[in-house]
Amino acid sequence: MAEDRVTLLTAREAAEYLRVSLFTLGKIEKRGDLVPFRTPGGHRRYSLAMLNEYLERSRRRPPAKGASAQENKPADDAVRILIIGNASETANLIIKALRPKGDYEFASAKDGYEAGVQVMAFKPHLIILDTAALGFDEFEFCRKVKSDPKTKHIKIIGVVGFGRDNDVERIIECGADDCLTKPLQTEELQRSVQGLI
């Protein structure tokens, strides 16, 4: 079924996600720290869950010998933000607006299956849920996250299309901690995120 399909990234997309060069990505694979899927044509593909597991292992790895404490500061202080929606320009805008304002790590999901995987693997502190661009019941997703004892602590900001006042009410009723309307205003987004975390 279409909703069960996991989005796979190319090597270039995976390198961008990890914020490393393609060369460094190759070195990571040669060390055996990351094992991509292979297409029948031999091309490498990576799931977001796989990349997030690698990032989690990297955070727990002891500092390299001779490296300074500042260079090896653990990323545990970073606030993990999961952006859910299938509009990449919205995700890019959110990342661009927030990155200079704090120590944030980002992950994204484009559908309900991927969102569920990311909630368990990435363990976000905050979810930014674009209700106007998804192909699944985003309101039910919000309700499930907020009603599950294991995930109810996760803060949720809903993002709705302009003029969709009913969606604002619905997402708040489902447990969202805040709701913003499109077009997103940078300062409003920053204030909302900083206020919740």
- Any alpha helices (H) in the chain, and if so which ranges? 11-18, 22-30, 48-60, 88-98, 112-121, 138-147, 165-173, 186-196
What's the pTM value of the predicted model, to 2 decimals? 0.61
pLDDT score for 146: 94
Q: Which fold has domain 2-60?
A: Multidrug-efflux Transporter Regulator; Chain: A; Domain 2 (1.10.1660)
Q: Which pLDDT tens digit goes with each residue over 82-101?
A: 999 877 778 888 999 998 88
Rounded CA-CA distance 4/9 in Å is 16
**Domain 78-196: CATH class, spelled out:** alpha beta
pLDDT score for 183: 85
Average pLDDT over residues 112-137: 84
Domain extents for the chain?
A: 2-60, 78-196
The order of strands in the sheet holding 8-9 is 8-9, 44-47, 37-38
